[in-house]
C-alpha cells in the first residue's frame, strides 16, 4: 500500500546513504515507496527467490542468515537488505527473518538501480555496507577464500605409498622412483600410523652427501614420529602447520588410520602466490640486515590478506607464524655466531604471538627457559648475548621492544625451568596486582625454539593449578575488568585523551585486549588447553558456563573489533602512513560505528557477567 510521502521523506533524511541524496531525489524515492509488515519470526526473504525491491527497515529488527542457516547479522531501524541480490541476478542470496514485529519500506528495483548508477556516494555506501554487514560483522563471508572452508582431504589425490622400516635405503629409492612420489611413509606392522617419513631431501642429504651404504635400513635416515593432521581440518590449518614446523609433507589421518599425504606444493597449486609464503624467505636469510629487508614483504602479505577478505583469525595466525619464523631464524643466526648453547634452553613467545592473534602493530614479549643445571656464573653470559641478539634483531624487523621489559634480555625472565614453575605456582597461590598482570601476559605462552616440551609442561602446570584456585580466578576476573570498552552512559564512544592520539579509540587497549583477558579467565576455569581466543571460546561454549548465545555474541564481537583494527592498519599502509591501533570514529562508516558500539556493548555485558561468575 502507499504511505504518507512526508513521513517517508523525513525518515530517509535521517538515515544514510539516503540522507546524502539531493532533496528532489529523495522526494521522488519517497513517492515510490510501499510498506510491508512482518510479524516476529516471519521469514521475509528465502534463498534463491526473485527480489524486486530494496528492503529498508522502518521499525523493528531482522536477522540475516547464510544459506547454510548460520546467523550472519542483525539489522534494526535504518538498516537495509536485499541489495546483494538486486546487484547480482535479481535473486536472494541471504535469507532474512523478522526478529521482532517489523515495518519495511520497499524501494522498487528500478529506483534502487537508478540511485546506484547516478549517485556515486550512494553506490559506494551500498557496496561498503553490503560487504561490511555480510562479511566483516561476522566471522566469515560466504564466498571467502576457500582456504578457510576447504578440508585437507580434498587435496589427497592418491593412496599413501608406504614401506616397512626394515627395508633398505635402496628399496626406498626404487619404490619412490616407480611410484613417482617425493616421500615415503615408513610403517611398522604393529602400528596403524607411520613410525617415520623419508623424502627426496633425506636421500640427498642423509645418504648421498653422507656416503651412507644404500643397503642400510630406512630406519636410519627417516624422520621419526612425523607430524600428522586430521582429514577434517582445513587447508588453511594444514598450511600454517607446515609453515610453523617447516614441513614439506604432511600425512593425513582419519579415525586413527592413514589416509594419504599432502605436500606444500599441493597447497601452492591450490592457492597460488599466497602471501604467507614469505615465511620461506625468512629461513633463507643469513643476517639481521637481510631479515630486515623482508619487512616490506611482511607488510605486503598483511595487506594482501586484508584485500582478499581473510578473517581476523587467519590474519592473526598468519602474522604470528611470520613472527615465530623471524624468532626461529634469529636464534639460528645467534647460535651460529655465539656457538652452541652451553645447556639446553627453550625460547618462549608470549601474549598475542602465543595466542596467534598478531596484527601488523605489535611489540615483542618473550622469555627464556633454561635447563635446571643453569649456573649464572658459567652460563648467563651466553644467554644474555643470545637474548640481546634476538630481541634487537626482532626490533630491526618491526617488532618493537617491550616497554614493560617483558623480554629475555631481562634476567628476571631468563630463568631455569624450576624457577618458572615456582613463579607460576606462586602467582596462582598468592595473587597480587603485579603477579596478576604477569599472569595475563605469561599465561599465554608457546615454545618456538629448543626444548619445546618445557613450554608444554608450564602450560600443563597453569591448567592444573588455576582451575583449582577459585580465589585466583576471581582475582584474574577483577584484573580483566581494568580495561573497559570505550562506551559512555548513553552508549556514545569515550575518546582517548592522550596527546597525539586525542579523540580516537585504541582498538587494542579498549577492545581486543579486554576481550582476550576475559576469555582467558573462562578458559582457565574450564581447563581449556587452547591458546587462541577463538579456540578457547569453542571450549567455553562447549562447557556451557555462559548464558545461551553469549559465547557466539562474544565471538562475533571479537571478530568485528579485530577487523576494524586490522582494516585501520591496512588503510594506513595504503596511504603511506605508519599503522597504529587508534581509530577515529569519523573514519568509520555509519554502519561500522553502529556495529562497533554493539560489539563494545557485548564486551561490557561480558565483563559484568565475569564479575558475577567469579565472586571474590
Four-way CATH pick for 477-613: 1.10.3210, 3.30.450, 1.10.3470, 1.20.120: 1.20.120
| Ramachandran angles phi, psi of 447, nearest 5° | -80, 135
Check: CB of residue 282 under 8 Å from CB of residue 325. yes
CATH 3.30.1540.10 fits 148-270, yes or no: no
- Residues of CATH 3.10.580.10 domain(s) within the chain? 148-270
Mean predicted confidence (pLDDT) in 343-366: 93
Mean predicted confidence (pLDDT) in 535-564: 91
- Running DSSP on this structure, what letter comes out for residue 205? I
Q: pTM for the complete prediction?
A: 0.63
pLDDT greater than 60 at residue 143:
no
Query: In the CATH hierarchy, which top-level class contains the domain 5-143?
Result: mainly beta
Joined together, the cell numbers standing for residue 421 give 614453575
Helix (H, G, I), strand (E, B) or coil at 159: coil
| Ramachandran angles phi, psi of 290, nearest 5° | -70, -35
pLDDT greater than 50 at residue 137:
no
Structure confidence at residue 277 as a pLDDT band (50, 70, 90): low
Mean predicted confidence (pLDDT) in 425-440: 93
Joined together, the cell numbers standing for residue 146 give 576457500
Nearest to 73 by CA among 84, 61, 88: 61
Joined together, the cell numbers standing for residue 13 give 533524511
Tell me the per-residue pLDDT of 450-488, one tens digit each, with 9 for 90 and over. Answer: 999 999 999 999 999 999 999 999 999 999 998 888 875
Structure confidence at residue 273 as a pLDDT band (50, 70, 90): very low
pLDDT greater than 50 at residue 78:
yes
Quote the pLDDT of residue 301.
83
Structure confidence at residue 1 as a pLDDT band (50, 70, 90): very low
Rg (alpha carbons) of the chain, rounded to whole number: 28
Quote the pLDDT of residue 393.
96
Check: CB of residue 35 under 8 Å from CB of residue 78. no
Mean predicted confidence (pLDDT) in 110-121: 87
70 vs 359: CA distance, rounded Å: 27
- Residues of CATH 2.60.120.10 domain(s) within the chain? 5-143
Quote the pLDDT of residue 266.
78
Write out the DSSP string of 99-150: SSSEEEEEEEHHHHHHHHHH-HHHHHHHHHHHHIIIIISSS--TT--GGGT-
Check: CB of residue 53 under 8 Å from CB of residue 35. no
Quote the pLDDT of residue 2.
47
Which carries the bigger pLDDT value, residue 525 or residue 254? Answer: 525
- Residues of CATH 1.20.120 domain(s) within the chain? 477-613
Tell me the per-residue pLDDT of 165-195, one tens digit each, with 9 for 90 and over. Answer: 989 999 999 999 999 888 999 998 777 788 9
Check: CB of residue 145 under 8 Å from CB of residue 271. yes
Of 92-96, 230-234, 348-352, give the range with the top mean pLDDT.
348-352
Angle at 601 between CA 596 and CA 604, to 5 degrees: 130
pLDDT greater than 80 at residue 497:
no
Quote the pLDDT of residue 270.
59
Quote the pLDDT of residue 549.
83
In this structure, of 83-92, 284-293, 353-362, 595-604, the range with the lowest mean pLDDT score is 83-92
Superfamily of segment(s) 279-462: Beta Polymerase, domain 2 (3.30.460.10)
273 vs 196: CA distance, rounded Å: 30
Mean predicted confidence (pLDDT) in 583-600: 81
Quote the pLDDT of residue 130.
42
pLDDT greater than 70 at residue 502:
no
The residues that bridge with 36 in the sheet, in sequence order, are 104
Structure confidence at residue 128 as a pLDDT band (50, 70, 90): very low
pLDDT greater than 80 at residue 408:
yes
Of 120-129, 530-539, 569-578, give the range with the top mean pLDDT.
530-539
Quote the pLDDT of residue 184.
93
> For the chain, what is the mean pLDDT?
86
Tell me the per-residue pLDDT of 234-272, one tens digit each, with 9 for 90 and over. Answer: 777 788 788 777 788 999 998 788 899 998 777 766 554
Angle between helices 312-338 and 376-396 (to 10 degrees): 130
Quote the pLDDT of residue 142.
36
279 vs 277: CA distance, rounded Å: 5
Structure confidence at residue 429 as a pLDDT band (50, 70, 90): very high
Burial class (CB in 10 A: 0-12, 13-18, 19+), 398: middle
| Ramachandran angles phi, psi of 86, nearest 5° | -65, -35
Quote the pLDDT of residue 133.
41
Tell me the per-residue pLDDT of 35-74, one tens digit each, with 9 for 90 and over. Answer: 999 998 899 999 889 999 999 999 988 888 877 677 777 7
476 vs 87: CA distance, rounded Å: 50
pLDDT greater than 60 at residue 498:
no
Nearest to 62 by CA among 142, 133, 135: 133
pLDDT greater than 50 at residue 355:
yes
Mean predicted confidence (pLDDT) in 378-389: 96
- Running DSSP on this structure, what letter comes out for residue 473? H
Distances (CA, A) of 542 to 520, 529, 535, 536, 611: 15, 13, 11, 10, 21
Check: CB of residue 156 under 8 Å from CB of residue 259. yes
Nearest to 511 by CA among 571, 568, 557, 570: 557
Amino acid at each position: 500500500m502507499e504511505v504518507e510521502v512526508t513521513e517517508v521523506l523525513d525518515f530517509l533524511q535521517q538515515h544514510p546513504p539516503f540522507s546524502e541524496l539531493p532533496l528532489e531525489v529523495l522526494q521522488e524515492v519517497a513517492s515510490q515507496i510501499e510498506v510491508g509488515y512482518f510479524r516476529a519470526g516471519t521469514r521475509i526473504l528465502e534463498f534463491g527467490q526473485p527480489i524486486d525491491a530494496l528492503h529498508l527497515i522502518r521499525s523493528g529488527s531482522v536477522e540475516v542468515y547464510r544459506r547454510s542457516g548460520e546467523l550472519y547479522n542483525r539489522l534494526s531501524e535504518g538498516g537495509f537488505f536485499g541489495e546483494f541480490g538486486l546487484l547480482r541476478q535479481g535473486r536472494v542470496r541471504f535469507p532474512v527473518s523478522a526478529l521482532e514485529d517489523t515495518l519495511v519500506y520497499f524501494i522498487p528495483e528500478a529506483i534502487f538501480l537508478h540511485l546506484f548508477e547516478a549517485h556515486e556516494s550512494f553506490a559506494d555506501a551500498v557496496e561498503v555496507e553490503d560487504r561490511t554487514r555480510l562479511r566483516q560483522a561476522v566471522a566469515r563471508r560466504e564466498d571467502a577464500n576457500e582456504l578457510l572452508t576447504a578440508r585437507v582431504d580434498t587435496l589427497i589425490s592418491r593412496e599413501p605409498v608406504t614401506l616397512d622400516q626394515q627395508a633398505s635405503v635402496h628399496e626406498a629409492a626404487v619404490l619412490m622412483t616407480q611410484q613417482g612420489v617425493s616421500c615415503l611413509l615408513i610403517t611398522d606392522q604393529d602400528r596403524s600410523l607411520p613410525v617415520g617419513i623419508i623424502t627426496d631431501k633425506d636421500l640427498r642429504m642423509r645418504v648421498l652427501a653422507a656416503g651412507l651404504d644404500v643397503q642400510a635400513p630406512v630406519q636410519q635416515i627417516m624422520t621419526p614420529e612425523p607430524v600428522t593432521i586430521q582429514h577434517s581440518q582445513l587447508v588453511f590449518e594444514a598450511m600454517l602447520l607446515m609453515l610453523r614446523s617447516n614441513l614439506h609433507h604432511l600425512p593425513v589421518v582419519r579415525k586413527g588410520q592413514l589416509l594419504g599425504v599432502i605436500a606444500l606444493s599441493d597447497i601452492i597449486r591450490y592457492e597460488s602466490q599466497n602471501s604467507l609464503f614469505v615465511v620461506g624467505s625468512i629461513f633463507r636469510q643469513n643476517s639481521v640486515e637481510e631479515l630486515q629487508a623482508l619487512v616490506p614483504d611482511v607488510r605486503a602479505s598483511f595487506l594482501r590478506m586484508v584485500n582478499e577478505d581473510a578473517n581476523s583469525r587467519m590474519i592473526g595466525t598468519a602474522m604470528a607464524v611470520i613472527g615465530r619464523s623471524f624468532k626461529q631464524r634469529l636464534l639460528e643466526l645467534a647460535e651460529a655466531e655465539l656457538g652452541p648453547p652451553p645447556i639446553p634452553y627453550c625460547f618462549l613467545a608470549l601474549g598475542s604471538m602465543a595466542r596467534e592473534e598478531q596484527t601488523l602493530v605489535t611489540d615483542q614479549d618473550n622469555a627464556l627457559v633454561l635447563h635446571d643445571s643453569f649456573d649464572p656464573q658459567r652460563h648467563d653470559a651466553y644467554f644474555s648475548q643470545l637474548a640481546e641478539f634476538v630481541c634487537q634483531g626482532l626490533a630491526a624487523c618491526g617488532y618493537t621492544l617491550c616497554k614493560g621489559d617483558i623480554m629475555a634480555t631481562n634476567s628476571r625472565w631468563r630463568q631455569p625451568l624450576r624457577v618458572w614453575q615456582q613463579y607460576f605456582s606462586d602467582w596462582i597461590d598468592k595473587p597480587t596486582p603485579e603477579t596478576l598482570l604477569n599472569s595475563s601476559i605469561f599465561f599465554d605462552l608457546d615454545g618456538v625454539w629448543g626444548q619445546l616440551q618445557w613450554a608444554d609442561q608450564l602450560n600443563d602446570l597453569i591448567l592444573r593449578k588455576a582451575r583449582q584456585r577459585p580465589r585466583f580466578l576471581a582475582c584474574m576476573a577483577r584484573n580483566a575488568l581494568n580495561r573497559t570498552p570505550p562506551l559512555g552512559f548513553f552508549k556514545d564512544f569515550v575518546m582517548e585523551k592522550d596527546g597525539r592520539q586525542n579523540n580516537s579509540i585504541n582498538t587494542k587497549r579498549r577492545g581486543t585486549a579486554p576481550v582476550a583477558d576475559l576469555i582467558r579467565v573462562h578458559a582457565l576455569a574450564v581447563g581449556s588447553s587452547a591458546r587462541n581466543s577463538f579456540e578457547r571460546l569453542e571450549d567455553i561454549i562447549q562447557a556451557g558456563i555462559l548464558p545461551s548465545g553469549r559465547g557466539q555474541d562474544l565471538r562475533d564481537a571479537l571478530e568485528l573489533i579485530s577487523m576494524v583494527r586490522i582494516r585501520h592498519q591496512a588503510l594506513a599502509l595504503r596511504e603511506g602512513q605508519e599503522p597504529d591501533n587508534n581509530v577515529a570514529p569519523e573514519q568509520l562508516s555509519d554502519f561500522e560505528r553502529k556495529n562497533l558500539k554493539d560489539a563494545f556493548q557485548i564486551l561490557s555485558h561480558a565483563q559484568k557477567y565475569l564479575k558475577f561468575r567469579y565472586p571474590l
